[in-house]
Amino acid sequence: MPDTLAPARHRIALVGASIGGSLSPALHEREAVALGLDYTYSLLDLDRLPPGWRLRDAVRRGVTGFNVTHPVKQAVLGQLDDLSPDARTLGAVNTVTVTDGRLAGHNTDHSGFLAGLRHGLPDIRSERVVVVGAGGAGSAVAYALAVTGARVEIADADTERAHALATRLTTAFPDAEITNLPPDLIPTALTRADGIVNATPIGMTGHPGLPFDTRALTPRHWVADVVYRPLQTALLTTAHAEGCRVLDGGAMLVAQAAMTLALLTGAAPDLARMREHLSALTASRTEPIHD
Ligand code: NAD
């Protein structure tokens, strides 16, 4: 009998489309090394998987946990045995644990956004917040803010999408005030809002520009971006010049990755160390991808 147990082997895979340039393998694996884990993080690109492929096919080949990204955050729900309450309400997962053969879905996008916001902008007021973008990231951000009891106004160029998200969150949080907002009314909403979050792709590499009319920003506003390539977006540059407190998309990305790593291994990642690593990675790589 060996007197010490062999360290657990963690074989993690990211499932999604167009993930070839993902930062996640480097971000996860470097932190896992620092934590002394036996951990690998590989890519399972849907473009290269056979039709009908399922998560369990990878489990049979030794995968012990998953990150899940665009376009399958919702599509994998039917393959899971269990869902965390948050993932059930959000209707999307980004992490799947495998325990005794059971696949359980979790969502660390919303908790990652909130942790990043609290860590990066402590002491801000966030009773009224505008969220621009009602897609995957916007849903997680709006959900996270609704959990805190904030009044959330959701704007999307696709007004049906904003309306659907506001309706879904109102059903989940009947006491919360969550409404949809026509994008042209963002400046008006800013006169009563404490902060605003960009959850559209505008500002990322290949999608230049500003996601909304920034002329109503004043120094009493905080501005958060979910875009992390680049970390310094045109929105954050503009908002900072207006005197606003700003938070880049790296805060959400790192906190989300740390929470996923913790769920998959039980270890306690170091946020500051991961953040430093992300900054180095984004400085050296610029291609747009899904993480
Ligand atoms: P998505 O396509 O699901 O949703 C984007 C939404 O933005 C769409 O509903 C679209 O109609 C809307 N939109 C686009 N331009 C707009 C504009 N000018 N005004 C209002 N609405 C507009 O995309 P997604 O998966 O939610 O990703 C959005 C961004 O968030 C991407 O840049 C992605 O890389 C980033 N992201 C970051 C993190 C993180 O951890 N920091 C996590 C997930 C996604």
Name the segment(s) of the chain with CATH classification 3.40.50.720: 110-251
Architecture in CATH for domain 110-251: 3-Layer(aba) Sandwich (3.40)
Query: What is the per-residue DSSP string for 115-140?
Result: HHHHHHSTT---SEEEEE--SHHHHH
Could you list the active site residues?
A: 73
CA distances 178 to 149, 153, 191, 270, Å, are 10, 6, 17, 34
Name the segment(s) of the chain with CATH classification 3.40.50.10860: 9-108+253-284
Residue 3 has pLDDT above 60, yes or no: no
pLDDT tens digits, 43-74: 999 999 999 999 999 999 999 999 999 999 99
Angstrom distance (rounded) from CA 149 to CA 126: 9
Q: What is the mean pLDDT of residues 68-81?
A: 96
Q: Is 79 exposed, middle or buried (0-12, 13-18, 19+ CB in 10 A)?
A: middle
Among protein residues, the one with the nearest Cα to ligand 1's atom 18 is 211
Q: Pocket of ligand 1, candidates 186, 200, 254: which has the most ligand atoms within 8 Å of its Cβ, to mutate?
A: 200
At residue 1, the pLDDT reads 41
Contact 169, 146 (CB under 8 A): yes
pLDDT tens digits, 155-193: 999 999 999 999 999 999 999 999 999 999 999 999 999
- Given the CA of residue 134, which atom of ligand 1 is nearest to it? 9
- Given the CA of residue 251, which atom of ligand 1 is nearest to it? 41
Fold for 9-108+253-284, please state it: Rossmann fold (3.40.50)
Q: How far apart are the first and last CA of the chain?
A: 42
Among protein residues, the one with the nearest Cα to ligand 1's atom 23 is 135
Residue 284 has pLDDT above 80, yes or no: no
- Given the CA of residue 200, which atom of ligand 1 is nearest to it? 7
Q: Pocket of ligand 1, candidates 73, 90, 226: which has the most ligand atoms within 8 Å of its Cβ, to mutate?
A: 226
H or E segment to which residue 280 belongs: helix 271-284
- Given the CA of residue 112, which atom of ligand 1 is nearest to it? 40
Q: How far is the CA of 42 from the centre of ligand 1 (A)?
A: 25
Among protein residues, the one with the nearest Cα to ligand 1's atom 32 is 201
At residue 282, the pLDDT reads 85
- Partnered with residue 98 across adjacent β-strands are 103
**Pocket lining for ligand 1, CB < 6 angstroms:** 70, 109, 132-138, 155-158, 161, 183, 199-202, 204, 211, 226-228, 249, 252-253, 256
